[in-house]
Structure 1
Amino acid sequence: MMERMREGASSIWVKIILGLIIFSFVFAGVGSYLAGGSQQAAAKIDDREISQREFEQAYQNERNRMQSQLGDYFATLMGDPAYVQQFRRSVLDRMVNDVLIEQRANELGMRISDEQIRKAIVSMTEFQRDGKFDNELYNTLLRRSGFTPDMFAESMRTDMLRQQLLVAIQGSDFALSNELTALTKLEKQQRVIRDLTLNVAEFTKNADVSEDEIQAFYDQNPQMFTRPDQVKAAYIELSGEGLKTTLEVSEEDAKAYFDENQQKYGTAEQRQVSHILIQGDSSDAKAKAEELLAQLNAGADFAELAQSSSDDTFSAKDGGKLDWFERGVMDPAFEDAAFVLNKGETSTVVQTSFGYHIIKLDDVKESQVKPFAEVRGEITAELREQRAAEAFYDLQTKLAETAFEMPDSLDDAAAAVNAEVQLTDFFSQNDAPGVLATPAVMQAVFSPEVREDGLNSDVIEIGPEHVVVVRVEDARDEMVLPFDEVAGSVKQQLAAQQGEQNAQVKADEIVAALREGKTEILDAEGLSFSEAQTIGRSGADRMVAQVAFGLAKPVDGKSVYGMTRDMEGNMLIIALDDVIEADVEPVSADSQLATQVEQMNAQQDVMATLKVLRNTAEVSYPTLDTPAN
């Protein structure tokens, strides 16, 4: 119980399920459930479908997220087709769970109001600048992601509806004081134990393995003694990292670069405007915008008209005022209109992808350039980076040309780029050394041109400014190793198996005798328990603690016996002599432990709810096995 509580309290499942789901699919799948179409379904939930396109979009989004977190390690995992299949299934399962939760929330009559959505959007840090909601940043991010404000708001409504149900499940759990006190007593309970070890190595040393057994095992398991296809390789590795420290940048070069690129080292001109937006691209929308412009030209107050008539409800509350922006942030047509206005001027009607705007220029911040002395270091580093890249690609080109022109050796190519040819011992595709283990390099090494024809490979990019050219110096085909060559290792393997089996049998025999009170077996075997020791539930040896705290409490002073293995694989017999109960004060229902118990119960409730929903729905995965990389 205590182990489950610890695991539940820190479970990533709890953190994911009970955390905000809102941004799970933002910008790469948010609103995917709104999309329709006749394409084949990746999953079906009753009458609801998740299309293959929706699934692939969510899969790619999750893959990109994992890649950014785990880097090369995740790339290695994705090289395993079985892991890819498991990963795809987990993404689709999550999407199915989302649909089930949404359906259940709708059945219960749960609703999300427009005001709740507005408050949630305004509070998102992704849409804030300097700690405040930025309407233009909001619109820009949505536009770049292919969403309209209405689409995004509807996807938010769906996500918040799921969250509402999950929070309701979480909030329904509680822990009683007497329950928490009992758990605390269990947590602080101690146990008095003794142990004795049966050394598996001794049983292995005494194992009797015949030549016939060795031969039979060899004959029955040829795959265990098959040497895979192997090669010896020579390769040249070229990296641009070291070039950066060898290149110098003069003061004159840095100053010239500064003069040519001053826009990079200062603040661009910024403008603050107010606008009135009429959404849509119809003639009626344009006519309404022109009517409002006529009212402004006749003397109407811009802020009052924005408050009463603008479809941009966020900025309308502030008279249409937007935050400061520079070129490259807003819709191009909006920017072009805003940047030709003089302070206080109002534009004509401007059409963008959002609708029709009327723009008033409120203020201007002129561009400013930092002094050269302040950015000298930055420029020097940038020029060194640029020149190192240029030098690297020059060497890469020379390496590629020479390796191609002299395909029977890497010596000329190495001399051309002032590098060394590195040699390997024999290796297979599963144990390639260093950079050669990269999938692209492995594919080249075992290609017919390189492995069989003995040619140099093309230049293979294994990272930014990091390339390899490889050739096969020697190769040997897959073969079953001769019996004489492996007989010794087979004997050791069989002896180890027999030793473990014999140790297990002896341990079972001893434990059975001890449980019957026949302690004389210890003298007969020349064994004895260690001195008694008192351990806690989180003792130094987790396996020992797990067995000791799983044994029944001794009755009438009679020890209770259990068995496990130690870290070396030896058999470990444990005698539980006594249980020491802890004397604890009553635990409050407002304590940290109460929170942990409630979280554990919430996790179980969520999982149970999903299980029921899945059992009562018709869920199928028509295209789950479709390959994707």
Structure 2
Amino acid sequence: MMERLREGANSLVVKIILSLIILSFVFAGVGSYLAGGGQMVAATVNGEEIDVREFEQQVQQERNRMQQQGGEQFLNLMGDPAYVAQFRQMILNQMINDVLIQQHADQLGLRVSDAQVRQEIFAIPAFQVDGRFDNDLYNTTLRRMGLTPDGFAERMRSDMRRQQLLAALAGSEFTLDSELAGVSALESQTRMVRTVTLSLDDIASDVTVEQSEVQAYYDMNSTLFTRPDQVKASYIELSAALLADQLEVSAEDVQAYYDANIARYSSTEKRRVSHILIEGDSSEAQAQAVLDRLNAGEAFADLAKALSADTFSGENGGDLDWIEKGAMDPAFEDAAFALASVGDVSEVVQSDFGFHIIKLTDLDGAVATPLAEVEAQIRTTLQQDLAVNSFFELKDTLADVAFEKSDNLDDAAEATGTTVQTTDFISETDAPGVLADPRVIQALFSQDVREDGFNSEVIELDSERAIVVRVDDFRYEEVLPFEDVEADVLETLTQQKAQEEASRLAEEMLAALEAGETVDAEFGDAEAFTRRGPNWVVANAVFGLPKPTEGPVYGSATGFGGDVIVFSVESVQEGQVADDLRPFGQQMLQGLSQQSLESVMDSLLSNAKVTSNVN
């Protein structure tokens, strides 16, 4: 076949085809590269780019968080393309705001030193073992997050600078005691309220929807009942964390690791020393003379007080208190830690400060934590290390077998000791768990995987997680037939009509009550409403009304389930000023700081040049 291709390469037809292909690259491919490199940029803020991969990662993280909190309700929302677009825009807006804040911090000259970043990282509990920073745990955690130490440090620096700016805004606000007293009294105010509920379910049971209305609504809003492109997926997921749970570590391995890293599980050796410092010309000879006097029996403390150039310690007999390794001049430290027993005196030692004679006065040796107390920690560390090594080996095997046997995942699962997981039909907006990752979605709906039936390449979700997917079945976007959604349309129209009827009844009732007329509804007994009550939707409406003067005041609010609550504010009991106004001061300062931040952001946005490439 290759021979025939070579023979045909000189034919006129092939040359024409090649010319057309080259032109298509010039006008489509290269042009897209020059103008559309922006496809890798989610937005540009005053010339600074927001990488689309970082944006998609933020979207995925927020989606996972919301899914954990909202469950099925959130998944239903994500089935609405309009909501998805709004959700993505919200994330992008936040990222744009963060860039603007960072740029503003640069203009103000806000800085965070390396030492501050390091101190902040050391204080993060997730990187600590027994209350102390653990470098191995730190690096392992970052690998799982797909971050490098330098990258994480820069994230920390950016966040700390942002907090500096926010703190500066907060620090510019203040409150008066009279304001706090007024807020305190308003906060504790109580209103006596009687309510009557117009139940949406009761009203809906009396609502009549004609078949013609159902059909007409469907005809006018058929796009609301569009089923998106969907696939049935199979996949194999590899995870170092899951592998760690399956790995056994022997007692011998634990002992060997403990012995090799005993310093990590030992307290720091401390030594208490005294010294005599000799400076100036002929100082070495003078120091040797002092050492000779010590060897002749004179007291170290007396000579230190009389002769040491370090007069501060000399007053205390040369005592330097407790020292640890890394705290002193290297030459001094080496000599001090070479002394074997309490009472030993060194030879003359030269440092950058002069010549010393050092005496060991007390010793607190390093104490190793018993193996039994750290065995579980060591076992976990070894499991994680083994799991990471196993993960990379299996990932290579998965890539090879999934490529060679591209028409199924069973062979790859057998080769890697994993299982093939499957889904029902899913779309780009409701894919569960790991399949919701943008890179996985892109693979599932690609030509090779969805329509040609091949396995995907190995997709690296992070440094220690990978996945291969394939499509078992798919169906294109389709407006669902009326018969399939008739019940949903009927329910939608019923709820709409019930809501309209509830609102109409509430308006009629309010008009009658304000006119002093009797209404055909029985209000409940008066209840004490506070601003922080459980039914805050109604409470907001209640406290939004003026105080009653010559009689009750009336209002209405729509509750969480759609019920309409008509209420009567009967009386107001003024609140008391709290003894401690500090919580109100903090609350007011937070509100004022937020207003200041919003004002700054409005100004920054109005003066910024922002372009977005996200739909």
**C-alpha displacement at 1:407, in angstroms?**
0.9
Would you say the 8 A contact 2:270–2:324 is kept in 1? yes
Output one character per residue of 1:535-557: Cα deviation in whole Å (capped at 9) or x when no partner. 3443332223323333333334x
**C-alpha displacement at 1:435, in angstroms?**
2.5
The correspondence of residues 154-233 of structure 1 with structure 2, limited to 5 A, is: 167=171, 169-170=172-173, 173-176=175-178, 183-233=183-233
Which residue does the alignment assign to 1:625? 611
The correspondence of residues 62-77 of structure 1 with structure 2, limited to 5 A, is: 73=65
| CA shift in 2, pair 1:577/1:430, >3 Å | same
Q: Separation in 2 of the partners of 1:358 and 1:70?
A: 61
Q: SS at the partner of 1:531?
A: coil
Higher alpha-carbon deviation: 422-431 or 219-228? 219-228
Q: Separation in 2 of the partners of 1:396 and 1:466?
A: 9
Q: Separation in 2 of the partners of 1:242 and 1:607?
A: 43
Which residue does the alignment assign to 2:317? none
Q: Separation in 1 of the partners of 2:588 and 2:108?
A: 18
Higher alpha-carbon deviation: 372-381 or 235-244? 372-381
**C-alpha displacement at 1:382, in angstroms?**
3.4
**Structure 1 position 421 matched with structure 2 position 415:** no
User: Aligned partner of 1:190: which letter?
Assistant: T
Which residue does the alignment assign to 1:409? 408
Which residue does the alignment assign to 2:136? none
Which residue does the alignment assign to 1:592? 580
**C-alpha displacement at 1:613, in angstroms?**
8.2
Query: How many residue pairs end up in the alignment?
Result: 476
The correspondence of residues 351-390 of structure 1 with structure 2, limited to 5 A, is: 370=368, 373=371, 377-390=376-389
Which residue does the alignment assign to 1:434? 433
RMSD: 5.7
The correspondence of residues 475-554 of structure 1 with structure 2, limited to 5 A, is: 475-519=474-518, 522-523=519-520, 527-554=521-548
Q: For the pair shown, which has the larger CA radius of gyration, 1 or 2?
A: 2
Would you say the 8 A contact 1:346–1:361 is kept in 2? no
Q: Separation in 2 of the partners of 1:614 and 1:258?
A: 54
Would you say the 8 A contact 2:238–2:466 is kept in 1? yes
Residue segments in structure 1 that go unaligned for 5+ positions in a row: 1-40, 44-50, 104-116, 129-143, 147-151, 274-291, 306-319, 349-356
Q: SS at the partner of 1:424?
A: strand
Q: Separation in 1 of the partners of 2:477 and 2:539?
A: 47
Which residue does the alignment assign to 2:314? none
Q: Separation in 2 of the partners of 1:362 and 1:185?
A: 70
The correspondence of residues 109-148 of structure 1 with structure 2, limited to 5 A, is: none
**C-alpha displacement at 1:102, in angstroms?**
8.2
Would you say the 8 A contact 2:269–2:364 is kept in 1? yes
**Structure 1 position 447 matched with structure 2 position 446:** yes
Output one character per residue of 1:570-601: Cα deviation in whole Å (capped at 9) or x when no partner. 1111022233446x5xx58xx422x3444455
**C-alpha displacement at 1:479, in angstroms?**
1.7
User: Aligned partner of 2:491: which letter?
Assistant: Q
Which residue does the alignment assign to 2:557? 564
Q: Separation in 1 of the partners of 2:574 and 2:369?
A: 73
| CA shift in 2, pair 1:237/1:362, >3 Å | farther
Would you say the 8 A contact 1:249–1:383 is kept in 2? yes
User: Aligned partner of 1:444: which letter?
Assistant: A
TM-score by length of 2: 0.60
**C-alpha displacement at 1:465, in angstroms?**
4.3
Q: Separation in 1 of the partners of 2:386 and 2:603?
A: 64
Q: Separation in 2 of the partners of 1:547 and 1:98?
A: 40
1:578 to 556, 567, 571: 571
The correspondence of residues 291-370 of structure 1 with structure 2, limited to 5 A, is: 324-326=324-326, 345-346=349-350, 370=368
Q: SS at the partner of 1:425?
A: strand
**C-alpha displacement at 1:233, in angstroms?**
1.0
Q: Separation in 2 of the partners of 1:80 and 1:217?
A: 27
Would you say the 8 A contact 1:192–1:533 is kept in 2? yes
Q: Separation in 2 of the partners of 1:544 and 1:214?
A: 33
User: Aligned partner of 2:528: which letter?
Assistant: T
Q: Separation in 1 of the partners of 2:605 and 2:534?
A: 48
User: Aligned partner of 1:592: which letter?
Assistant: D
Q: Separation in 2 of the partners of 1:126 and 1:236?
A: 35
**C-alpha displacement at 1:569, in angstroms?**
0.8
Which residue does the alignment assign to 1:89? 96
Would you say the 8 A contact 2:191–2:572 is kept in 1? yes
Q: Separation in 2 of the partners of 1:422 and 1:547?
A: 50
Q: Separation in 2 of the partners of 1:272 and 1:461?
A: 54
User: Aligned partner of 2:553: which letter?
Assistant: V
**C-alpha displacement at 1:608, in angstroms?**
7.1
**C-alpha displacement at 1:336, in angstroms?**
11
Would you say the 8 A contact 1:266–1:367 is kept in 2? no
Residue segments in structure 2 that go unaligned for 5+ positions in a row: 1-43, 69-83, 124-148, 152-156, 274-278, 288-306, 312-319, 339-345
User: Aligned partner of 2:194: which letter?
Assistant: R
**C-alpha displacement at 1:408, in angstroms?**
0.6
User: Aligned partner of 1:82: which letter?
Assistant: Q
The correspondence of residues 257-296 of structure 1 with structure 2, limited to 5 A, is: 257-258=257-258, 265-266=265-266
**C-alpha displacement at 1:185, in angstroms?**
4.6
Q: Separation in 1 of the partners of 2:545 and 2:552?
A: 10
| CA shift in 2, pair 1:165/1:361, >3 Å | farther
Q: Separation in 1 of the partners of 2:193 and 2:562?
A: 20
**C-alpha displacement at 1:194, in angstroms?**
1.8
1:555 to 545, 549, 567: 549
Which residue does the alignment assign to 1:237? 237
| CA shift in 2, pair 1:192/1:261, >3 Å | closer
Q: Separation in 1 of the partners of 2:382 and 2:98?
A: 43
Q: SS at the partner of 1:426?
A: strand
**Structure 1 position 397 matched with structure 2 position 396:** yes
Q: Separation in 2 of the partners of 1:222 and 1:361?
A: 94
Q: Separation in 1 of the partners of 2:235 and 2:56?
A: 32
Which residue does the alignment assign to 1:15? none
**C-alpha displacement at 1:473, in angstroms?**
0.4
Output one character per residue of 1:186-221: Cα deviation in whole Å (capped at 9) or x when no partner. 444433322112222343344444444434433333
Which residue does the alignment assign to 1:48? none
Output one character per residue of 1:418-440: Cα deviation in whole Å (capped at 9) or x when no partner. 43322211110111123222233
Which residue does the alignment assign to 1:474? 473
User: Aligned partner of 2:98: which letter?
Assistant: V
| CA shift in 2, pair 1:228/1:412, >3 Å | same
| CA shift in 2, pair 1:620/1:221, >3 Å | same
Q: Separation in 2 of the partners of 1:605 and 1:198?
A: 39
**C-alpha displacement at 1:95, in angstroms?**
4.5
User: Aligned partner of 1:498: which letter?
Assistant: K
Q: Separation in 2 of the partners of 1:617 and 1:457?
A: 44
